[in-house]
Structure 1
């Protein structure tokens, strides 16, 4: 990064011209004072003429500088301006040097001392004023001190000839210092230009970075929209499939058909788990997860996780151990369960030999919940990247058995939401330990009564209006609700739903959130309630995972289920709504 010579010289000339005004009034004062003080042999008139010449020269140079500064100094003007400044300052230097011819008088020693002192001070002061353009400084010094040295030499006395030599030595010293000053000034100007260039480069890079950030945000939004759309479209048939499989499970099947059905339900469950993982990620992004912290016993959660995930570890030949704990924690048990399930699932997924240990250690006012594994380990430079969404180690083929790469991202997001710091310590080839720091409960946890699910569900006997634009979902809901003893009416849009409800008023409404004609399930439920004149129990069911849709659905105040909905979950929700409505009436 370098500045071209004409541009640099233009800046030097600008600096010199700006210095001119500051030297005008001191020069006028000195010249007038000398004209008043000196009484040379040549008379007052001679000194007065000299003062007028000096003042005129200085005034014109200052006026010319102000005129030139009215416009920017361009590099193309440099040669002409340098010649102009050389001429004006040569005249100015000679004019000041003429003082030696006017004021030096062997018969008047005080006057001679005054003249020498003034000329020395003027030429010394000119260094700061003129040294930015070294040739200009040189001509001024040569003009002034040259006149002094010449006059002193021609006076014939040894003392004055010594003064002449001293003046020339002083000239050499000044020129050397002026050269150093000019170099320093040039370096300062170059540094300023470099800083300006750096600032411009930073602006350009900042603009590029800003453009890249905007592009990345747009790509991220596009990714989120794509995932939401893909997730929604995938959820519809899987939701319908799970309902049809539930209907089929209640049919008379041979043992071989029961085995095939079990395999089909397992495959559907695996697909549903992946979709629910995407949903968990979207819910965190949407900010619709509200922690409900309470005091609870950790051992219940540890037992539940072990019962669910230990079989997966055993199937891989791994040893799964849970260290019993009497610790009571203060957190949201449902969200903490989700964090722990993701951590343990990740440990099982990336461990091929050895085992997994889940343990909790008490530390003063908090506990450390730890998940140890003897898996592949994580390199130090990757230990933050593993918490990024869709980031996976050792899965370039995107094997679905290794998940989607969202588990740790969800765990970190929920941990931050709960205020529980999550950290990892790992060594490649030796395994990892994930630690979650959780506050201890300050009071005894409430006893939780867990009801066992009955083997046979009682019939519901409800009139249910289902609004969904997917034919497969409507058909599956009709078959399933009929098995639960319900009269199921189905509509593909709001208009059809209004006609049906006018004929047979429903007890409960189940509506998909996204309907045709840009309508929403929340709007449909509000319209039907207005038509029927009462706060009819209702459920929203959605396959949409877009954060904005999740926030809208949540704001409606209607209970929300996410496709694919497990039949058990749907039955429980309907039974709860029916019981609540009956209690109010």
Structure 2
């Protein structure tokens, strides 16, 4: 038996049992009707009592099997219970088979030839139908068929009739044939069950992999946000001190060293700003403001800024003229194109870069061509993933962080623009972005050439109001010292605080004779407080609205959303001195100071 039907693993066996239990219900009503029909057809004065007793036995057997199946399906099959249930079902269906086989002893010797043929036909049909019903658990079919055939052929053999004995041997061959078919049916059902479990396991593995990827991505985002914040603090302070140093009297050699230091600071700042841009896209705080603008002016600005990079590598840089006016957020479109052009220059060693525009009905296709290394088809989707770089296994800092194309794609999505790529390895690449065209002459106050990060204001030429009093709140002492020196070099009176309680004491100690004209606060303060809370508390304590500026080094998406929601102007560390100056001028230009 074990060789004919080796028991599969528990979960497969449990499914086979459920399949058999589900089949039991389909055989109950036909069996009851057939038993009643046989009693009605075969009964006579000789066999009536025995036939009624037989029918009662078959009915009881079927009803018990049906009730048992319903209970098992309702309660479920507990792990470790499978083999015991196989034994239980084998015994149960052996009894059922014996009940049907007993029909030969009850009816064959006491009925007409027509009745005998009917009995043999019914037993043959019962054996055939049981094969499809019981094959999921093969021992149950073998027990049922053997019990039935043994009782049936034992009567045929003991009758002494040569024809009946030959018929008994035919019955044995029939059962052997059915056993082979039942085994094949069992294997087919088992294969289907295995396939279903494999599919479920694959789905679970995919779900687990997706969850792991999401967890890893979340952990990466949190790590980058924390690392970015901690790096921004000293780099922000460094920029402040370098600007103060630049205003002091330096020798020519010192000026040269300072220029190198500022160049290194700028490189670090640019990398952090790239991380910030990516974080802002992920946080969903990039809000496009579409308006018509002159496309050629934007292309000229990008060429003026980036063509020197191509010249330094011995590459040509061409930008074809266009007179088209498009409608989108010029600042964000510029970031997309700058990333595409910078990427093209970075990965091109010979030849050059071409920026061209092709009119396509109501839109224009801006194309950035290069003769660089090209991108294989298998990598063309991957290069838009963050931190993914081709041809930079040594992670050369001069080749960036691998965020340029991820930022370009994220901004294109925010602008609802289509960004596409065509490339051949060794032949170069072309990136295309499609912009909607508007009739020429509809440019309304659009500004061209706003280079840099997502929110980089130009340096303010106007002077700050005289007597400007600034209260700076930050829990980093180096930043407080740098801000104080920088603001004082601009003619501002400056006071500093490292916490909200200290800021409240400073702002109110001499009120109303001395109160801050402007508050500059870091967003993340001590004691789990934020710059928004500090500004609100100071305004409440002073009893008036004080212009305020929030500075943050956070790049975590949720922190960016919180900081943006304050309603006060927001700058991101490391802040360039000219950015800070412009922000202060914008805050104070409508204020009157006593």
Return the alpha-carbon distance in structure 2 between the equivalents of residues 21 and 355 of structure 1.
83
Which residues in structure 2 correspond to 1:236-247 (within 5 Å)?
A: 236-247=233-244
> Which residue does the alignment assign to 1:117?
118
> Which residue does the alignment assign to 1:424?
421
> Which residue does the alignment assign to 2:229?
232
Secondary structure of 1:259 counterpart? helix
C-alpha distance after superposition, 1:221-257 (max 9, x if no partner): 3332332222222222222222233233333333333
- 1:324–1:19 CA distance, 2 compared to 1 (3 A): closer
* Larger deviation, residues 515-524 vs 178-187: 178-187
> Which residue does the alignment assign to 2:465?
460
> Which residue does the alignment assign to 2:444?
446
Tell me, yes or no, if the aligned pair for 1:100 and 1:115 is still in contact at 8 Å: yes
- 1:365–1:499 CA distance, 2 compared to 1 (3 A): same
User: Aligned to 1:513, which of 523, 526, 532?
Assistant: 523
User: Aligned to 1:479, which of 476, 480, 485?
Assistant: 485
User: Aligned to 1:355, which of 352, 356, 375?
Assistant: 352
> Which residue does the alignment assign to 1:334?
331
CA RMSD of aligned residues (A): 3.6
> Which residue does the alignment assign to 2:311?
314
Return the alpha-carbon distance in structure 2 between the equivalents of residues 87 and 468 of structure 1.
87
Tell me, yes or no, if the aligned pair for 1:99 and 1:115 is still in contact at 8 Å: yes
Q: CA deviation at 1:366?
A: 1.6
Q: Which runs of 5+ in 2 are unaligned?
A: 135-140, 450-456
Q: CA deviation at 1:216?
A: 3.9
Return the alpha-carbon distance in structure 2 between the equivalents of residues 171 and 30 of structure 1.
23
C-alpha distance after superposition, 1:184-228 (max 9, x if no partner): 4423442354256436644xx71x555554444444333323322
- 1:472–1:120 CA distance, 2 compared to 1 (3 A): closer
- 1:85–1:244 CA distance, 2 compared to 1 (3 A): closer
Return the alpha-carbon distance in structure 2 between the equivalents of residues 383 and 3 of structure 1.
54
Return the alpha-carbon distance in structure 1 between the equivalents of residues 464 and 99 of structure 2.
116
User: Aligned to 1:140, which of 144, 148, 154?
Assistant: 148
> Which residue does the alignment assign to 2:505?
499
> Which residue does the alignment assign to 2:563?
553
TM-score by length of 1: 0.84
- 1:195–1:3 CA distance, 2 compared to 1 (3 A): farther
Secondary structure of 1:46 counterpart? coil
Say if 2:128 is the partner of 1:127.
yes
> Which residue does the alignment assign to 1:30?
37
Return the alpha-carbon distance in structure 2 between the equivalents of residues 84 and 255 of structure 1.
104
> Which residue does the alignment assign to 1:522?
532
C-alpha distance after superposition, 1:105-127 (max 9, x if no partner): xxxxxxx3344235424432442
Q: Radius of gyration: which is bigger?
A: 1
Q: CA deviation at 1:56?
A: 4.5
Q: CA deviation at 1:342?
A: 1.0
Secondary structure of 1:506 counterpart? coil
Q: CA deviation at 1:258?
A: 2.9
Return the alpha-carbon distance in structure 1 between the equivalents of residues 588 and 95 of structure 2.
105
Return the alpha-carbon distance in structure 2 between the equivalents of residues 574 and 525 of structure 1.
16
Q: CA deviation at 1:515?
A: 2.0
Return the alpha-carbon distance in structure 1 between the equivalents of residues 83 and 237 of structure 2.
78
Return the alpha-carbon distance in structure 1 between the equivalents of residues 26 and 322 of structure 2.
82
> Which residue does the alignment assign to 1:252?
249
Q: CA deviation at 1:428?
A: 1.8
Q: Which runs of 5+ in 1 are unaligned?
A: 37-43, 105-111, 155-160
- 1:172–1:427 CA distance, 2 compared to 1 (3 A): same
C-alpha distance after superposition, 1:520-562 (max 9, x if no partner): 2212211221222221111111222222221111111010011
Return the alpha-carbon distance in structure 2 between the equivalents of residues 30 and 189 of structure 1.
33
User: Aligned to 1:266, which of 231, 249, 263?
Assistant: 263
Q: CA deviation at 1:179?
A: 3.5
- 1:35–1:399 CA distance, 2 compared to 1 (3 A): closer
User: Aligned to 1:103, which of 98, 111, 115?
Assistant: 111
Q: CA deviation at 1:83?
A: 7.0
For these two proteins, the number of residue pairs brought into alignment is: 558
User: Aligned to 1:93, which of 88, 94, 101?
Assistant: 101
Tell me, yes or no, if the aligned pair for 2:358 and 2:364 is still in contact at 8 Å: yes
Return the alpha-carbon distance in structure 2 between the equivalents of residues 198 and 19 of structure 1.
29
Q: CA deviation at 1:281?
A: 1.0
Return the alpha-carbon distance in structure 2 between the equivalents of residues 255 and 376 of structure 1.
42
User: Aligned to 1:385, which of 367, 382, 385?
Assistant: 382
Which residues in structure 2 correspond to 1:405-420 (within 5 Å)?
A: 405-420=402-417
Which residues in structure 2 correspond to 1:397-412 (within 5 Å)?
A: 397-412=394-409
> Which residue does the alignment assign to 1:108?
none
Tell me, yes or no, if the aligned pair for 2:372 and 2:429 is still in contact at 8 Å: yes
Return the alpha-carbon distance in structure 2 between the equivalents of residues 98 and 4 of structure 1.
33
